[in-house]
Amino acid sequence: MFLLILIVMLSNGNSIKDGLATFADLAPKSSFLKGLHLLYGVVLVLFFLIRYFVLTFKKRGGIVFVKRFGFFVLLPLSILIVSFKAVTYSNSNEDFNFNWDSSIENTTGKSNNLFEIDGKHRGMSVFGWRKDNQESITSIVKSNIEWVAVVPFFYQEDEQTSRIRLRDSYEKWSRQDSVFLRSIKQLHERGIQVQLKPHLWMNSGWRSNISLESAADWDNWFDSYRITILHYAKMAEEAKVGLFCIGTELKTSVEIQPEKWKSLISEIKSVYKGKLTYAANWDTNLMDFPFWDQLDYIGIQAYFPLTNSKNPNLETIKKGWDTHIETLEKLNKVHKKPILFTEIGYRSEASSTIRPWEWNSFFSLLYQKKSNQTQALAYEALFQKLWMKDWFAGMYIWQWQTRSTAEGAEKSLNFSPRFKPAENVMAKWYGARVD
């Protein structure tokens, strides 16, 4: 395992010292140790299998070897593959005929810029940036997307880690920073506006549940967060993005450190001159949030539960919005700020409106039913219920992967609407101005 990590690090242009440091960082982690033991077990089983068949060939001859190899390896493997393909085929098949409307697509190559007319963020969280993004941007424009959330990630180990991983220096842009800056420039050249939305990512746990033992630990954590977010605020100003998100789903920090956040917002405003938001999770106490008054938008990660059953019809999903809309309207009335869904998404899966925040696993297609229909209806209900509201500033759909393919979408249960009917539903609403 050590040699494997070292080889990967060296192939990516890192030094032996970096490889040693990476291994030292990984070694104490429980997930790494579990993976290491699993890998060891697989290698051990393979070793004994190979040894068994080598001895069989030597002692019993080729005919016995072929028979045993076929019975003990090829037959079970064939049954496993056929069963897997049968189950995934059954679960990915659905009786849903959707008439794709190509007439609503934007084929001009440049954004319609309807935002300047009605102030709605026709947004998408986009991943997979590379050196040349022209083809990817053309596909984004085609679906009438006018705003893109560019999402840099920064890291800490888990919910108990008292310091975010910092770089050695923030005095110049890193290679990753340069990729984002170049991508933002290419988006701007095509008339697409940008929200820069840095995300804290953890190896385990969720950023909303950070739990530290002492005030000193919290101060240490916030100091590292401040350094990181001010770096991205400078990037936002450098790139002249239209919106900067100062934080995403950091519930416990906001509750424990509201004054630090208020001070940080003042610092950000001295660096970045554009619009600001914060992405609060939908189940946060949104009404008593401590610093909406300092921001331009009330940002919500809007994974509201909408139904109690699978394969809901349109009216059932629409009805599921009623209580949430009442809360949102009160929130707008109290704080007098437009409400922006900094994230919202539905999987192409039959139960996606029950717990929209849940992710699929690698084996989801073995036990979950694909439903492009449920995903498309969820978006149709969302637009019908909220898009025309004066207080609703728009949304950023989760998520669009530039490297995804139409073939992959056929068996995909994930959030991406790309190459699925939901993409055309979104394009229809995004392509029309709101009067």
- How does pLDDT run across 141-191, given as a tens digit for each residue? 999 999 999 999 999 999 999 999 999 999 999 999 999 999 999 999 999
pLDDT at 99: 95
Ordered alpha helix ranges (H), 285-363? 314-320, 322-335
Neighbours of 101 (CB within 10 A): 12
Query: Residue 221, Cβ neighbours under 10 Å: how many?
Result: 21
pLDDT of residue 348: 96
Q: What is the DSSP string of 338-352?
A: -EEEEEE---SBTTT
Helix axes 62-69, 30-60, angle to 10 degrees: 140
Task: Work out the angle between the directed axes of helices 175-189 and 215-239 (0-180°, nearest 10).
Answer: 40
For residue 408, give every residue at least 6 positions away whose Cβ sits within 8 Å of its Cβ, in sequence order, or none: 419
3-state secondary structure of 223: helix
Structure tokens at 124: 């998408």
Which pLDDT value is given to residue 140? 97
Closest CA to 393 of 261, 282, 281, 296: 296
Confidence (pLDDT) at 32? 58
Cα dihedral sign, 301-302-307-309: negative
Domains and CATH numbers, the chain: 2-91 (no CATH), 101-430 (3.20.20.80)
Instruction: Give the residue ranges of the chain where pLDDT is below 70.
Output: 1-36, 84-92, 362-367
pLDDT score of 46: 82
Determine the Cα angle at 345 with ends 341 and 348, to 5°. Answer: 165
Helix then strand then coil, % of the chain, to nearest 5:
50, 15, 35
Contact 197, 248 (CB under 8 A): yes
- In whole angstroms, what is the distance from residue 247 CA to residue 279 CA? 6
Structure tokens at 198: 């840095």
Count Cα atoms within 13 angstroms, Cβ side, for 232: 27
Residues 283-310 have pLDDT tens digits of 999 999 999 999 999 999 999 999 999 9
**What integer pLDDT is reported at residue 108 of this predicted model?**
96
Residue 248, strand partner residues: 279
CA of 38: how far to CAs of 43, 115, 305, 361, in Å?
A: 9, 52, 36, 19
C-alpha span between 268 and 252 (Å, rounded): 21
Residue 250: alpha-carbon gap to chain centroid:
16
